[in-house]
A and B are shown apart, each in its own frame.
Chain A
Amino acid sequence: MGADTDEELVRRIGTGDAAAVQAMVARKLPRVLALATRMLGDAAEAEDVAQETFVRIWRHASGWRQGHARFDTWIHRVALNLCYDRLRRRREWTTDELPEVADEAPLPDAMPGDEGRRVSQALQRIAPRQREAIVLVYYQELSNIEAAGAMQVSVDALESLLARGRRSLQAMLVGDDGDD
């Protein structure tokens, strides 16, 4: 797959090409769903966000023009905005100050096979902006510049969010796992 054949797919979608639609969904849905699941910690809400993200893709397809951002970065931005809409509705904090000091107590040990849920809980306990940085760089494998672009912050700010997020996760997850 070429570096930016996303743009070619979008162009074909804009002309009503059904095969391009299938290809786009196959390529991007797992990424969008993973992003939303980790941001929201709720599978059903993540599916809603994924659907809404694709509706925006379909609506923009016929008029898509590449600006500064790659298409993949643009999708991340759209999905993140939708996630934040839902987080706001839950009255969660969207800044990174208060939750950072709110809850860093180590989580209980996971039962075998349950480590993933423990990580999910920990991700939900850190500040959303820190979570966003970690999800983009660690799980979505965006480069630091792409992640900073999607978050509309500088690379230095991204690094700060990452470091603070990882420190919080370390306290929750590795505190009782450090003797390995």
Chain B
Amino acid sequence: MADERKTVEVPLDARRFAALADAYGSALHRWPPAEQAAAMLFAKTDEGRAILAGAARLDAILGRHSVEAPSPTLHGAIVARAATEVRQERRRRFWWLGFGLAGVGLAGAVAGLALVTVVNPDIQSDHYAMDTNATSFGDAGPEADPYEEDL
């Protein structure tokens, strides 16, 4: 997470200079860029030189730790695996893309069907038209059941 405060040039006092040396060591190129110019000026003072000398002792010792270069065997094993992994990943992405397109097509078909149903709901009107007196059980109009009229 970038700290915006660190991009603003700020003056350095001995306390801040010592804190930076505690954190980043004696090599000013590792210090926050915004504070390097001020640090270079302070480093020329006696106090600055003394602080950097203290940090440099640890830096020199840390610098003695080196890591062997990767072996050709390791390099070869990593390279050999690349072709397979990249090919498999591309195939996997291809299939997901296919599924995605199929899903989009299906969704489009469903949406189209729904749209047709909403726009033209009377599509079956010529099969059977419900009379205002009709019920699900048949026509319940006045002439339908003379027995009811007697009631």
Contacts and interface: CB of A to CB of B under 8 A. Distances in A.
Most interface-central of A43, A47, A123, A149 (chain B CB within 10 A)? A47
B81 A54 contact: yes
A148 B86 contact: no
Interface stretch (A13-21, A74-82, A84-92, A96-104): A13-21
A160 B75 CA distance: 36
A180 interface: yes
Nearest to B29: A141
Chain B: number of interface residues, binned into ranges? 35 or more
A95 interface: no
B119 interface: no
A127 interface: no
B24 A18 contact: no
Contacts of A16: 83, 86-87, 90
Interface string A123-141: 1000000000010011101
A156 to B, nearest CB: 7
Nearest to B2: A145
A174 B74 contact: no
23 contacts: A13-B82, A18-B83, A21-B79, A21-B86, A29-B78, A33-B67, A33-B74, A38-B65, A47-B70, A50-B78, A59-B89, A61-B89, A62-B93, A116-B64, A119-B62, A137-B24, A148-B1, A154-B3, A155-B3, A163-B22, A166-B55, A169-B62, A173-B58
Interface of A: 13-14, 16, 18, 21-22, 25-26, 29-30, 33-34, 37-38, 43, 47, 50-51, 54-55, 58-63, 115-116, 119-120, 123, 134, 137-139, 141, 143-145, 148-149, 152-156, 158-160, 162-163, 166-167, 169-170, 173-174, 177-178, 180
Given A61-B89, A152-B1, 7 more contacts: A16-B90, A21-B82, A25-B75, A30-B67, A62-B93, A119-B65, A173-B62
Interface of B: 1-3, 5-6, 19-20, 22-25, 30-33, 55, 57-59, 61-62, 64-70, 74-75, 77-79, 81-83, 85-87, 89-90, 93
